[in-house]
A and B are shown apart, each in its own frame.
Chain A
Amino acid sequence: MIRYIAMVLLAGLALSQTTPKSMVAAYDAIADTILATKKAEHNIVAALLDGHFHGAQAYHSSGQFDKAAAEMALFGNEGDNAIGGIRKKLLEGGHHHHSDAEAKGTYEPGFVIITRETKQNVLKTVAAYRLAKSAGDREKAWKQFSELAHAALSP
């Protein structure tokens, strides 16, 4: 069947020397869908990170520091292991959100928003937050995390 369609297409090309408009339109629509899907992927990860940030903020404000640290760490890891599983599935299917930047080491494979550098900085901040010996130290770590989170989520 595929061979038949290709033959018809090639026959059309041979006659007109141009790709039929219907084929161009179809491929163009698919391209829009691919790009929209990639944008949607970015948006859902941003929403997920936003959820972790606000979760951390709520726990921090209410003095539930262990839970705040957990949310902060999940922010740095761009989601929990369930999200990691989806990332793994996408990678196995050949989808890399930032293939060039991954090759340069900027992003871990499959990560969409959190860069390798941001992840390391967030995790260091989480450790400082968790091990803070005073309220002042904890506030300092929280401020650092807030800055990192805002920078990561800024458009």
Chain B
Amino acid sequence: MADPAAAATATAKAAAAAKATTVPTKARRSVEFRGGGFVPQSRRWIGLVVFIVLLLAAEAGTRSGFISNLTLPRPSDVLATFVELFQSGLLWKHLLPSVSRLMVGALLGATVGIGVGILIGLFSLVRAGLVPLVAAIFPIPKIALLPLFVIWFGIDEGSKYALIAFGTFTPTVVATYGAVDNVDRTLIRMGQSFSLSWFSIVRKIVLPGAMPGILSGLRISLAIAIILLVAAEMLGAEYGIGAYILEAGALYDLERLFVGVTILSILGVCVSAALTKVEKHLLRWRV
């Protein structure tokens, strides 16, 4: 370091120079703000507002005759149909079998999918053998296989479970092995350096580390499960939301069609909300 006296004179000089440049006649203004934006912020009720505005527009349009009743059913009529369905007790008769099909099918598909995904992530032999197979069955529209499922699992619940399970299986596998691949290798190496057993490393490091990826994969898988629910109920289901929608569609009963679609949509929102709860609990170590 230079001696302090020289440093002091240097600062004094610099201060004098700075003083000389701030000529008093120059205008003072604050620096223009250029930051901000690009940060998602939580605006809780906006989504609901958009929804309500759209519904009100549809209501106004159909009432004024701007939108004909053949194009779009009147939202208030749809609501009335829903209330009717609820009061007649048919709602539960349709909803309960659907929810149980969804739960059994999705549970089956997701469990097997997570299991296979973890095996693919852990063993290169399984990976080499199964990844091409999964890639081959992923793009097959599962609905196309419906007749096959009927032969394999019977026309009853079996084929419906199988269809939903099969549809949730592939996206879950892909998400799971991706998540396992993304587990921080330094953590695994840490586990090895403390001589943890293989099983301990998988259970205590790989699985929790893959959990965020698995859960976000489940979001997609469960949405697909709901889509497939309708397909599954195309086959000789007397009751079920899918059966209800198909029947309404065949009759061009738009009010009932929309009631059915709305129920599916609400079902989807509920599933997603439940997943968010699970995520909040399992991933509370994040953020």
A binds B: no
**Residues of A bordering B, CB below 8 Å:** none
